[in-house]
């Protein structure tokens, strides 16, 4: 894995690029911090909550290589996702995908693979998404429902075996 290739250097325009997950390493942190800042900026600005330092520090403070997988496309870091154990199931956090790779089915493919494993364990998975984020539609398509919301976040849950979409051809 060439950790020096950035997500924005991955060739754009491919539909559902080949991808793989690999365990995160401590050396991935700053690459993922910058990816988070890029991905979160539009929604945080829309909500009037973007802060250059805070958007980066939140991932630095929460980063758990043990629970995080790096999404790799063309030997480059294309995204990440964290799945932590929780008292009543799993907590899905920090699911970021390089902007130019969004909207082509890659996020759905990664999410479907993760949910298949969680469903095999027979537990629920929870997450939160920013109000107005397009990611909410992705999660709803994969069987997540709203548990609660506040002015900034929507808290969602997916019960084991919830309907997931059929893979796109």
| 17-61 pLDDT, tens digit each | 799 999 999 999 999 999 999 999 999 999 999 999 999 999 999
Element (H, E) at 39: helix 29-46
pTM of the model: 0.85
Which residues neighbour 160 within 8 Å (Cβ) at sequence distance 6 or greater? 118, 119, 121, 122, 123, 124
Residue 165: pLDDT band (50, 70, 90) is low
Token pair in block for residue 153: 């976040």
Query: How far is residue 137 CA from its own chain's centroid?
Result: 13
Strands 89-97 and 76-86: antiparallel
Percentage, residues of the chain above pLDDT 70: 87
pLDDT at residue 169 tops 50:
no
Which pLDDT value is given to residue 167?
54
Could you tell me which residue, 87 or 23, shows the higher pLDDT?
A: 23
Residue with tokens 């991932």: 59
Q: Please give the average per-residue pLDDT across 121-140, as a whole number.
A: 96
Token pair in block for residue 55: 């958007």
Which pLDDT value is given to residue 9?
47
Residue 163: pLDDT band (50, 70, 90) is confident
Which pLDDT value is given to residue 146?
97
Binning the chain into helix, strand and coil, the percentages to the nearest 5 are: 35, 30, 35
Residue 16: pLDDT band (50, 70, 90) is low
Strands 89-97 and 124-130: parallel
Helix residue ranges, H only, 47-153: 52-62, 106-120, 135-141
| pLDDT digit string, tens, across residues 135-149 | 999 999 999 999 999
Token pair in block for residue 38: 């890029």
CB 90 within 8 A of CB 81: no
CB 21 within 8 A of CB 45: no
pLDDT at residue 3 tops 70:
no
The dihedrals phi and psi of 78, each to the nearest 5 degrees, come to -110, -10
């Amino acid at each position: 894995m060439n950790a020096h290739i950035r997500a924005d250097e991955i060739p754009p325009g491919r539909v559902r690029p080949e991808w793989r997950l690999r365990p995160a390493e401590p050396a991935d942190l700053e690459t993922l911090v910058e990816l988070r800042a890029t991905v979160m900026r539009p929604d945080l600005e829309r909500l009037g909550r973007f802060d250059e330092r805070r958007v980066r520090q939140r991932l630095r403070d929460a980063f758990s290589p043990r629970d995080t997988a790096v999404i790799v496309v063309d030997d480059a870091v294309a995204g990440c996702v964290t799945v932590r154990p929780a008292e009543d199931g799993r907590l899905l956090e920090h699911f970021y995908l390089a902007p130019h790779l969004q909207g082509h089915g890659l996020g759905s493919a990664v999410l479907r693979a993760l949910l298949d494993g969680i469903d095999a364990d027979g537990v629920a998975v929870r997450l939160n998404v920013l109000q107005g984020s397009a990611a909410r539609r992705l999660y709803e398509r994969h069987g997540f429902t709203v548990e609660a919301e506040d002015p900034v976040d929507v808290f969602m849950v997916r019960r084991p075996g919830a309907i997931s979409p059929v893979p796109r051809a």
